[in-house]
Amino acid sequence: MSARRPTLAVWKFASCDGCQLTLLGCEDELLTLADTIRIAHFPEASSVRVEGPWDLSLVEGSVTTPEDAERIREIRRASKHLVTIGACATAGGIQALRNFADVEAFTRQVYARPDWIATLATSDPIAAHVPVDFELRGCPIDKGQLLEVINAFVYGRRPQIPASSVCEECKRAGHVCVMVAHGTPCLGPVTQGGCGALCPGCHRGCYGCFGPKETPNAPALSAWLSRLGMGRDELVRVYRTFNANADTFREESLRHERDTDH
Amino acid sequence: MRVIAPQAMEKLVHLLSDDGYEVVGPTVREGAIVYDRLGGMDDLPIGRGDDHGQGHYRLRDRGDKALFGYVVGPHSWKKYLFPPRETLVRVLRRDDGGFETAPGEAPPPRRAFIGVRPCELAAIAVQDRVFLGQAVRDRAYGARRDGVFLVAVNCAEPGGTCFCTSMGTGPRAHGGFDLALTEVIDGDGHFLVAEAGSEAGGRLLERLAPREATEAERTAAERVWREAPARMGRSMRGDAREVLARSLEHPRWEETAARCLSCANCTLVCPTCFCAQIEERPDLEGKVSERVRSWDSCFNGEHSYVIGGPHRTTVAARYRQWLTHKLSTWHAQFGSSGCVGCGRCITWCPVGIDITEEVAAIGADTGGSGP
């Protein structure tokens, strides 16, 4: 590490701010973090703003407006490394449900003057607009994983973020499988870990907050979920949450939607 | 052989605790029988049994007071001997620019395992060969393994996914234990027949069970081992090693990959799977780095990462790697099969893929002598 502290900027697009707050939630590590990197732009934490270019930009949120599509290009130009954080930034977020519907119909329903609304037809992950150096998954992201990613960029190494299943975290934690032992539908086998298997640890099925794992096999899981009693409508919905627009989940929900239509 | 009343399990737990052991064994949690600390016999799964099928497990009431009336749960003893995550070493940067190392973990407690099934004894023996029987001895594993006191319980309850008989590992333990118990529940009563398998086991038995078993009690215990195999739900072809060795291009690999989730559950519940990943975990200040070893799986792409990327990119390649290693190439590497027939990979596969069915399907197409 050079004597100069690397600069960090945090950016918000269409999102709930929860992932940014994970950075502020690093209570024990926050002071060390502030000693190691220079927080140059982080409106949630400070009104101090240091002009770019920045060494590392963390980007939260999805691109949903023409203005944001332009703004992310400016941020990319001024950032040495750009890391997207959270399901909105990496997959389009819950607001990507619009991708399965007609946004103009929504605006006509909701707004008195829909012609004042300038919005894109889809909610896009940041990587659909600019090159991204690393995508950190989760809704919200995990604090430990965020620190690992920042650490990796500070020292110029590859982040050690596994793309393996939630099941792996369940088994390491010693949780009993909710699907096998209780018959509870669970997306864990197709979902990337990182949350520490929070929901199965509370006897709930996984909701897929970290998006599809590496080599996911959603059709095979869906076939088993059907055996557990899930109908087609439920199968459409189970894949349509925070990562509805992630490739595997989108294709799987569309597949069941087509089945429902027939 | 000695005989003890079920209530003597309370005394067994306390004797072992008094001798300085952390006593661990079966207990009910989250709707399953798992391994955890035992404070006394009330922590045992008294009167509970379990039903096993492909991707299916349910606890049930047995309607009796059996202490060990279940098959096996999702946990195995490897979680104690080869823990899911451990820090192997801590590396500390000195002010002069050099570095020094420190142990990653505190010395492990001496543990007593209560209720080790014969298939699990076999699994411990397999992992002993992996971690201790090679040119380089795994010190962390050895430190945990050396102090262990093993109380085996012969199997009276083979499950729907069990096939230990065809792997030659059960249902009766033939060594590798300090103490072996056989639980007998019949019209005449409820008792356990105990035999020592080591000097330490013999000494404990003297304190625990002074009375020799009668001829009738020994016969009742033998009936338990004799009758158990008939209730076993699965069997493995005896020529699995040869069948798989000649079937590396079999179309079944692709067919199974269409069902397989590559979620790694089979390998993580397997009591012999030993794959791990090792990561260096430096702190933000660059002063301390921890080398952490945690459970990994051959079903993960990263696990086959070499220069240029993972070399097992397809699920078919990963499933083939697991099955052929477990049942075939393990023999050449470690001198035995890697499978002990406990059935966990069948029960805890979220989509019910059955290792015995896979080998049977491949074997049916490639000939051979059959089971």
Q: Give the position of tokens 């096999």.
A: A217
B339 near B355, Cβ under 8 Å? Answer: yes
| CB A1, CB A154: distance < 8 Å | yes
Place of tokens 């049930």: B60
Give B242's contacts (C-beta < 8 A, 6+ positions apart).
B328, B368
Contacts of A189 in chain B (CB under 8 A): 261, 263, 265, 350-351
> What is the DSSP code string of B190-255?
EEEEEEE-SHHHHHHHHHH--SBPPHHHHHHHHHHHHHGGGG------TTHHHHHHT-TT-THHHH
Report the C-alpha gap between A88 and B34 in whole angstroms.
38
Contact B84 A173 (CB under 8 A): yes
What secondary structure letter does DSSP report for B19?
A: T
Give the Cα separation of B252 and B254 in Å (integer): 5
CA atoms within 13 A on the CB side of A180: 32
Q: Do A33 and B284 touch (CB under 8 A)?
A: yes
Q: What per-residue confidence (pLDDT) applies to A3?
A: 60
Asked if B269 and A217 come within 8 Å (Cβ–Cβ), the reply is: no
Greater confidence, B371 or B106? B106
- pLDDT higher than threshold 70 for residue B371: no
Q: Take residue B331 and report the two structure tokens written for it.
A: 């023999």
Cβ(A48)–Cβ(A1) below 8 Å:
no
**How distant, in Å, are the alpha carbons of A165, A209, B113, B371 from that of B320?**
19, 30, 33, 21
- pLDDT (tens place) for every residue of chain A, 262 residues total: 446 899 999 999 999 999 999 999 998 899 999 999 999 999 998 898 989 899 999 999 999 999 999 999 999 999 999 999 999 999 999 999 999 999 999 999 999 999 999 999 999 999 999 999 999 999 999 999 999 999 999 999 999 999 999 999 999 999 999 999 999 999 999 999 999 999 999 999 999 999 999 999 999 999 999 999 999 999 999 999 999 999 999 999 999 999 866 5
pLDDT at B370: 47
Residue B90, burial from CB neighbour count under 10 angstroms (0-12, 13-18, 19+): middle
Judge: A1–B286 Cβ closer than 8 Å, yes or no: yes
- Reported as half-sphere exposure (CB side, CA atoms, 13 A), residue B266 has a value of 25
CA of B294: how far to CAs of A168, B87, B144, B286, in Å?
Answer: 10, 9, 16, 22
| Residue whose token pair is 């619009």 | A98
Give the pLDDT of residue B210: 78
Question: Which of B35, B263, B279 should be substituted to probe chain A, the one whose Cβ sees the most A Cβ atoms within 10 Å?
Answer: B263
Cis omega (within 30 of 0) on the bond before B171?
A: yes
Q: In the Cβ-directed half-sphere of A145, how many Cα atoms lie within 13 Å?
A: 23
Q: Are A60 and A27 in contact (CB under 8 A)?
A: no
- Tell me: the pLDDT tens digits for B102-154? 999 999 999 999 999 999 999 999 999 999 998 999 999 999 999 999 999 99
Supply B181's token pair. 């118990």
Least CB–CB distance from A220: residue in B57, B261, B269: B261
Sheet strands side by side (includes B99-103): B99-103, B85-93, B288-295, B276-282
Q: pTM here? A: 0.96
Interface A–B counts its CB contacts (< 8 A) at: 131
* H or E segment to which residue A61 belongs: none
Q: What is the chain A residue with the closest CA to B284?
A: A151
Give the integer Cα–Cα distance in Å for B309 and B321.
17
pLDDT per position as a tens digit, B166-190? 999 999 999 999 999 999 998 779 9
Domains of chain A by range and CATH?
7-155 (3.40.50.700), 166-261 (no CATH)
Residues B100, B94: Cα–Cα separation, whole Å:
7
Helices B252-259 & B355-366, crossing angle to 10 degrees?
160
Chain A partners within 8 Å of B262 (Cβ) = 165, 215, 217
DSSP letters of A181-230? HH-----GGGBB--S-SHHHHTT-----TT-B-SS--HHHHHHHHHHTT-
| Alpha carbon distance A133, A177 (integer Å) | 35
Q: Is A165–B261 a contact, with Cβ atoms under 8 angstroms apart?
A: yes
CA angle B217, B222, B225 (to 5 degrees): 140
Joined tokens for residue A255: 């597949």
* A21: amino acid identity, one letter: L
Residues 136-155 of A with CB under 8 A from B: 147, 150-151, 154-155
Report pLDDT digits (tens) over B326-366.
999 999 999 999 999 999 999 999 999 999 999 999 999 77
3 state SS of B26: strand
Q: Provide the residue type at B289 as one letter.
A: S
Query: CA–CA separation, B201 vs A39, rounded Å?
Result: 62
Distance from C-alpha of B272 to C-alpha of B331, rounded to nearest angstrom:
13
Q: Which of B191, B195, B193 has its CA nearest to residue B178?
A: B195
B74 touches chain A (CB under 8 A): yes
In contact, B48 and B59? CB cutoff 8 Å: yes
The CA–CA distances, whole Å, from B252 to B263, B357, B361, B364 equal 19, 11, 8, 11
The answer to whether the CB of B67 falls within 8 A of the CB of B184 is no
